[in-house]
Structure 1
């Protein structure tokens, strides 16, 4: 009698795990995200931040566009690797906050704008970086949108992490460029 009840419980638990696994697989496999040159203003998570850097735009751009060396000044990033030249259509691999990400550059306008997008487990992000110079100082405005089933499920966690991450990126770039 005890064995029969235990088998029912075990069967129910395994069935529950199987349903969860199939659901997650389906959400990942059938997700279809749209890339664009702008962020998705209807996404559940959106961030916009800016910073002024006391360095000319050419210097800031040179540091920023050197993807393979992002991890030398941005400590949240691990093993960045661009798969070609820094131009629209080129992909790059990187890890940030434990997530492995493959992003594709959508827009590259030297010293003016960079946009990329990419999926990660349960999420899809679009980043845009706008660069402008005035009197030897560079202003950067960053926008990012995140969407996906996991983002919708954990919206406040993703929002908080995104806000912190972008601030970290901007501050680290400022420190590096102002050296």
Structure 2
């Protein structure tokens, strides 16, 4: 897995426990074209090929169009991508660990670039809020 940039001005890590198998969580998380049906912050997600490293996908969040490239696709364990928008570069990683029918989902992201440095405080606050929302929505979708 490609590591996040620990020196980036914007970064966040969050974890949540989901009462579902890692297979179920994986199926929801990696169905990129379906994200907008449960992830209310996202619109127009489109995977441009197969679910494998180097495949790109495009999506919108917070009004920004993002072009991303998958870097890690390890079924039921790890999923990650890099993304670019407005001169910023992000690394986004998900890790799944199943224990006794429950899946621990950890997410880490770093953002760097001119605006990330300039607006560090608000970007960190927004990233933390957005990431917690994503985890809460993923939990709700997987526990249906």
Q: Which secondary structure state, in structure 2, belongs to the residue aligned with residue 38 of structure 1?
A: coil
Once the 2 structures are TM-superposed, how far is the Cα of residue 122 of structure 1 from its aligned partner? 3.1
User: What do residues 132-162 of structure 1 show as CA deviations (whole Å, max 9, x unaligned)?
Assistant: 1000000011000000001100001110110
> For the residues of structure 1 that align with 2:115 and 2:121, how far apart are their CA atoms?
11
Task: Looking at secondary structure, tell me which structure has more helix per residue.
Answer: 1
> For the residues of structure 2 that align with 1:169 and 1:123, how far apart are their CA atoms?
20
- Across the aligned residues of Structure 1 and Structure 2, the Cα RMSD in angstroms comes to 0.8
Q: Which secondary structure state, in structure 1, belongs to the residue aligned with residue 20 of structure 2?
A: coil
> For the residues of structure 2 that align with 1:46 and 1:81, how far apart are their CA atoms?
25
User: What do residues 45-73 of structure 1 show as CA deviations (whole Å, max 9, x unaligned)?
Assistant: 11000000000010010011100000000
Partner of 2:2: 37
Match of 1:69 among 15, 34, 37: 34
- Tell me, yes or no, if the aligned pair for 1:124 and 1:147 is still in contact at 8 Å: yes
TM-score (norm. length: structure 1) = 0.79
Task: Looking at secondary structure, tell me which structure has more strand per residue.
Answer: 2
Of the structure 1 ranges 118-127 and 75-84, higher mean CA displacement relative to structure 2 is found in 118-127
How many residue pairs match? The answer is 144
Q: Which secondary structure state, in structure 2, belongs to the residue aligned with residue 62 of structure 1?
A: helix
Give unpaired runs (5+ residues) of structure 1.
1-35
Alignment of 1:93 onto 2:58: yes
Deviation beyond 2 Å, 4+ runs, structure 1: none
Partner of 1:15: none
Give unpaired runs (5+ residues) of structure 2.
none
Q: Which of 1 and 2 has higher RCO (CA within 8 Å, sep 6+)?
A: 2
Q: Which secondary structure state, in structure 1, belongs to the residue aligned with residue 116 of structure 2?
A: helix
TM-score (norm. length: structure 2) = 0.98
